[in-house]
Structure 1
Amino acid sequence: MSQSHSTPVPTTLTVVGGGFAGLVAAITAAESGRTRVHLRESHHTAGGRARTADGPYKTNEGPHALYSRGPLWTWLKQRGLIGPVASVPLRATLSGAATVRFHRDGALRRMPPLPVLRLGRKQAHEAPVDTDFHTWASSLIGERHTRYAANAIGVAVFHHDPGALSARFVQERLRRVLAMPPEAKYPVGGWSSVVDRLVAHARHLGVRIDTGSRVTDTELAGAAALGPVIVATSLPAARSLLADDSLTWAGGRTALLDLGLRTRRGDAFIISDLDSPGWIERFTAQDPTLAPPGEQLVQAQLPLAPGESRSVGIARAERLLDLGLPGWRERVTHRAEALATGRTGALDLPGTTWRDRPAIDRGNGIYLAGDQVAAPGLLAEVSFNSALEAASLALHHARLHRLVEADRDTRSHRLDLKSA
């Protein structure tokens, strides 16, 4: 008499990458309670671009903020994962203790031009997809003010020429960046405080998290044999891992500058460059814990054109600092420079939308998540939305996998009984 059928091996959903997208995908899958989840991260800590540096200056990889009217904020809030946050210090701004300045025509101004503010109130659907922002907006507010508006959105697109992008893409972001009261919220202690809560929540749900665990293409194939796989890495890393040259999308190059400065009353809180894309923010204005007592943390991002060196962007940042933070050079206690290439999210050119980006479903139980794939949203919201979709598709695939295995096992058992 033959042996009875064996118990099938439980399906395992593997997540490659422990940034925001990977952690959200792992938590979403684990919350279903229908499959085991294994997350693998090559770095020694989770977080991806949401990591906060250790040490006395708690820097993120360039200026970071959560947007409180977006889906990521709602999802985090529902799970108690946001924690303490700081808001744009409007009262201090109005009193002059924390000033917002706009660099226009070589000088700092208190307000952006009124035509730019009026344009920011237009609904995104009023802007065409197949026309560049500069052409569309110039017909409404003129070329000069359109240039100011396009440069103002550099903070959200990290691109040297936002006016050349799809009008719909830019207008969606301009409307939210100029919204009042401001959407931007800042996790106290840096973004790693949110990452730590995500990791703890994932582990509480039973997610196995292995850091310092780089996945090879051979290991990926092995994981796919046990269940669905979500690749939540940068697009270049996913392209290499999956050997898929189609995984490309436009991104920006950005010079990053971090400064620790001895405190001086009257320093600008934000400098938004309207003459060319650029953004400088004094993060200790809303969260003093990011620098040692008596010091402040300033971070800048300056988008670079193709062929421009990091030094070009840093020089622009220094000129803005001369205007908004007088005497900053004599007050420096910490300085770091970096170049972010292809790590600043998706950019939609005229005639394209998020739907044209690399698809989440790659076939054969492989799914993508990240900030350059086919999902809507502002900045980190793209990673978040793609993670939800990838987890949903992966869970469906896992369910079908279990049904196929159960059916195969049942048929095998019937044959055993018949032969007996």
Structure 2
Amino acid sequence: MVTRQVPRPAELLELMRFKKPELDLRKRRLESALTIEDLARIARRRTPRAAFDYTEGAAEGELSLARARQAFQDVEFHPAILRDVSSVDTSCQIWGGSSALPFGIAPTGFTRLMQTEGESAGASAAGAAGIPFTLSTLGTTSIEDVQAANPGGRNWFQLYVMRQREISYGLVERAAAAGFDTLFFTVDTPVAGARLRDKRNGFSIPPQLTLGTILNAIPRPWWWYDFLTTPKLEFASLSTTGGTVGDLLNAAMDPSINYDDLAIIRSMWPGKLVIKGVQTLEDARTLVDHGVDGIVLSNHGGRQLDRAPIPFHLLPTVAREVGQHTEIGIDTGIMNGADIIAAYALGAKFTLIGRAYLYGLMAGGRAGVDRTIHILTDQLIRTMKLLQVRSLAELGPHHVTQLTRLHPLHPEAAAVREDADT
């Protein structure tokens, strides 16, 4: 029999201790986000459709992006046991310097259109967290202003070699003068990918007021207030900004770039030179032969060639073949700290986050970027402790199995490609 009693007032009072309400709406909103997907849902509510879809979307059927995200989900971890993981070391060395965490902020274009604080919020948050920040050629904050926002941190610059070479060369010189230590030469954008969401939304730079955009803006007046009451958008390279994103890319990018351009940029740049957009083992080997300091396996977040290779699937082979000769980074599809740990275990020395950073920015400006970094950091530390590894250096391929959904219909075709690479 259960013995019952009249509840004691003191015990009732203990149960009735209410949490103090958070009056700061932004802080309350961000604290409610426990995952990057939560930040994305907040961002969707707070950002006009065209701007949000520019961040969220990818090329054509968006298969490359979906496959990249699925690849990280299709991972099985293999934890050790009985190891002291009361503290773990998340720091790493990458491209000539240190980072407090094995990820940094990727280059993103038109960032102040997502939220008015733009790259300044990203750079200052990165500096506070001790991780690198990368400014895009198509960024909306100048090289010098990014350096001012992150004066003591590591700033990197992403370069498109454009039809007007003198523009690109001038950017290289400015980034070097501002103390940026690493240059990303992006090589997967000879022309713009078919970003159908942008076309359907009529997304242009600067945004154009239409009946559709006005109706979409009604429940989001804060975005338009910020946009209309802050300085005019300024790009790191482009002096004209009219037209769709695809129009701008096609006008600026040059499909004729080749290894001669790589040699010129190498001769101009005093820091580390990293090639972003590598998608085959053969190209990785060739770039190593050309003496680059690093490569980033990337399909541009699925925004260029749809059905492109999945960087995370490519990673183990490239790491095995060239990892002793160059430092390998990876992006596309990273939405969780566990994704970062899986990539590091399979041979990546660094990872880059793009959309995850922008979701935080749209959700809450600088504080939202801080929240993105906090969420990913918490996830990766927890994953390390549950794997029972005390440092990133202890991670290895034995910790991860990649579970495959996609495989060649004719396995001999994959063997033929491998033979051609060798």
User: Aligning the two structures, in what range does the TM-score lie when normalised by the shorter sequence?
Assistant: under 0.3
Q: Give the TM-score of the pair, scaled to structure 2.
A: 0.24
In our comparison, the structure showing a higher alpha carbon Rg is 1
Larger fraction in strand:
1
